[in-house]
Amino acid sequence: MDKMRMESLDKTAQNVEQIGAMFPNCVTETVDENGKPKKAINFDLLRQMLSDDVFEGDEAYEFTWVGKKAAIVEANKPIRKTLRPCPEESVDWDTTENLYIEGDNLEVLKLLQESYLGKVKMIYIDPPYNTGSDRFIYPDDYGMTQDEYDDAAGMYDKDGNKVFQENFNSNPRYHSKWCSMIYQRLLLARDFLTNDGAIFISIDDKEQANLKKICDEVFGGANFVATVVWQHSIQPKGYLGNFSIQHSYVLIYCKDALSFKLGSLGRTDEDNKAYSNPDNDPKGPWRSGDVRNALYRPNLIYDIVSPSGKIIKPCENGWRWSKEAVDEKIKTGEIVFNKNETRIIRKIYLSNLEGRAPETIWFGKDVGTTREGVSELKQLFGQAPFDTPKSTKLLKRCITLMNDPEMLIMDFFSGSATTADAIMQMNAEDGGHRTYIQIQYPEECGETTLAYKQGYKTISEVGKERIRRAGAKVKGDGLLTTNNLDVGFRVLEIDGSNMKDVYYAPDDYNQGMLTGLGSNIKEDRTDLDLLFGCLLEWGLPLSMPYTSEEIGGCTVHIYNDGDLIACFDENIPNEVVKSIAKRQPLRAVFRDSSFANSPAKINVTEIFKLLAPDTRVKVI
C-alpha cells in the first residue's frame, strides 16, 4: 500500500523525468543533501546528444536579471503545505463550484498544479506595478535593498572589496526583485492553461517592457496575441510639468497559437453603417473590400477578362488571390464588375460577419475606467475600500474575447475581486456557467486605510465581502437567468502540512519517540482538512460535491460519487473496508494508523485486489 507524498509537486524532479523520457541514457544517479539516492541529468552527455544545438559562450539573445536562476529554483521547489477548508467563511459551500483561496499565490499555485493542470481557459491578473509607493493597500515595492543586490550581483570580492562602481540612479535592482516575483508565478501559471487558453495581464509603463520580455520567454513569442492600451482615466489630471497619464496596458498571451481562437465583439449600428444594398443583392447589405495584394507576388500578376471581353490589368503587386480563386469568386458573385467593366469589386456581406475584431486601444467609455471601478465599490460598500480597482467592464471585455460561457477563470492577484464580480454579472446576462478560482494573500490593511476603518483587517476580507454583496445584488436584479446562478464560493486557507515532521523523516525518530507521538497527523486537523489535502495530491478539483456516511461505526467520505473515498478513523473493521471496496471507487485513502500492524494493511490490499482491483489505495 503506497504512502501519500503530502507535499506539492517537485517540478525539478518532473523535468528530470521528462528529459529522461527523451534521452534515457542521460539520466544518472546522485545523492541528495541527506545522502539518499536520486535521479540526475548527466549534462555532459546531454550536450553531446544535442551537440549541434547546445549554446556555450558569452553571447546570446536573452533577457536576464540578478536573481533569475534563484527564481527558477524557487518556482520548481516543492512545499509541505496544504489548503484547509473554511465552510464558515464560504457561501453555498456544498453546491458552489467557485473557489476563493487565501495565501501566498506562489505557494497556492504550487499546491493546485496537479488538480488544475491544463484546465483553466483564462487567467487574468492585475499584479503589483512596482511603483515604489507605500500608499496602496497592496504592497507593490519589489525593489531589492542595496545589500541584497550587491550580494547577488557579485559586486564584492572575497575580501569584501567592491569590484566596480556604478551609477545607481538607474540601478536595475529596483526591477530585479519584481521580475523574479512575476517570473516565478508565470512559470507556474502557464501549466494551468488549456491549449486554447490565454492569460491577460494588466500593467503600467514601469514594468511593461520587462513583463513583455518575460512573457515572450515563458509563453513563447509566437504565442503573443496583443498589447492593449486601456484608457483608465477619461479626465486629464491637469498637472503641469509632466504628462497626464491616462492609460495602462493589458498584455495578452495564449498557450498555443495553433489552438487559440480569439473571440469577436458585438456589432453596433455605427459598425454597420458602411454596409448597404444598392443592387438589391439577395444576400443582403454589403461593402466593397480590397482586391489588391499587400506584397509583390509574381504568380498573382495576371489579366482578368470581363464578361464583355474587356481586359482588366493587375494591381501593382498583383491580385489578392490566384486566378482560379478569382474565377470561382466571380461565379459565386463574391466578385462583380463595375458598370463599365473597368475594375472588379469584392463584396463583403454583413450576414457573413459574426462580430467585429477587437481593437488594441480600449477607450474608457467602452470598457470602464478606474473611476467607474471605484463607483462600483461604492454601490456595494457605501464607500470604496480600494483606491484604484479595475472596472467590471474591463474584465467583461477580456472574458468576452475568450468566447466560452463554460470556462474556468483564474485570478491569482484577486485584490477587490473584480474578476469574480464580472463573472457573476456575465453569467446572469447570458446564462453562462463560468466558474472561477480567486487567490489573494491576506495582506493586512493599514490603519489609515478606509478598508481598515470599515472593519476589514485584510485585503482578502474585502474581496470575500465584495463577492457576497455582488452576488446578492446580481440575484436581486431579478433576471430570469439568475434562477440557478452560482454566486457562492468555497474558501480555503493555506497552512502548514497536515502531517507532523515524523511523516516526512521517520528515520529521525526512535521507537520510544514514535510511541509518544501517537499519530503522525497534527492534532488540530479535522477529517475535512485531511480530505482536501488528499484531493490536492490525487490531482482532483476542489469544487466537486461530496457526502459523508456512517458505515459500521466509521465516518466514510465519498468525493464526487466515488472519485475518491476516504476513511480516517482508527481501527477500521474489515467489514467497513469491504463496504468501501464494493463501491469500486477510483481512489481510496486511509490513515496509516487505521490499521494495527503490517498484516492488517496487507489484508486491506488483498480485499481491494479481490473486490476493486482497479482502485488505487494509499495511506497518510
**Structural domain includes residue 272:** no
Q: Which has the closest alpha carbon to 302: 288, 286, 314?
A: 314
310 and 373, same domain (yes or no)? no
310 and 363, same domain (yes or no)? no
**Structural domain includes residue 70:** no
Q: Which three cell numbers stand for residue 518?
A: 501517537
**Structural domain includes residue 44:** yes
> Cα dist. 163→15, 53, 68 in Å?
36, 34, 21
For residue 369, the tally of other CB atoms under 10 A from its CB is 22
374 and 323, same domain (yes or no)? no
Give the structural domain span for 23.
8-61
**Structural domain includes residue 183:** yes
298 and 341, same domain (yes or no)? yes
pLDDT of residue 134: 35
- Look at strands 490-496 and 99-102 and give their pairing: parallel
- Give the pLDDT confidence of 95-141 residue by residue, as tens digits: 999 999 999 999 999 999 999 999 999 999 999 998 765 333 334 55
Axis crossing angle, helix 598-611 with helix 574-582, rounded to the nearest 10: 30
241 and 288, same domain (yes or no)? no
CA angle 487, 491, 492 (to 5 degrees): 155
Asked whether 27 and 42 are in contact (CB, 8 A), the reply is: yes
**Structural domain includes residue 551:** yes
Axis crossing angle, helix 459-476 with helix 418-430, rounded to the nearest 10: 20
343 and 361, same domain (yes or no)? no
pLDDT of residue 168: 35
Paired with 348 in beta bridges are 287
Q: Which three cell numbers stand for residue 148?
A: 541584497
pLDDT beneath 70: ranges in the chain: 52-58, 132-173, 238-240, 480-481, 506-518
Please state, in angstroms and rounded to a whole number, the distance separating the CA atoms of residues 126 and 410.
Answer: 12
pLDDT of residue 138: 39
408 and 483, same domain (yes or no)? yes
Q: Where are the alpha helices (DSSP H) in 455-522?
A: 459-476, 501-504, 511-517
Please state, in angstroms and rounded to a whole number, the distance separating the CA atoms of residues 466 and 569.
Answer: 39
396 and 485, same domain (yes or no)? yes
362 and 421, same domain (yes or no)? yes
Please state, in angstroms and rounded to a whole number, the distance separating the CA atoms of residues 588 and 430.
Answer: 40
Q: Which three cell numbers stand for residue 614?
A: 482497479
What is the domain count for the chain?
A: 4
529 and 542, same domain (yes or no)? yes
419: left (phi over 0), alpha (psi -120 to 50) or beta: alpha
118 and 90, same domain (yes or no)? yes
Residues 6+ apart with CB under 8 A from 298: 318
**Structural domain includes residue 500:** no
CATH code: domain of residue 385: 3.40.50.150
364 and 421, same domain (yes or no)? yes
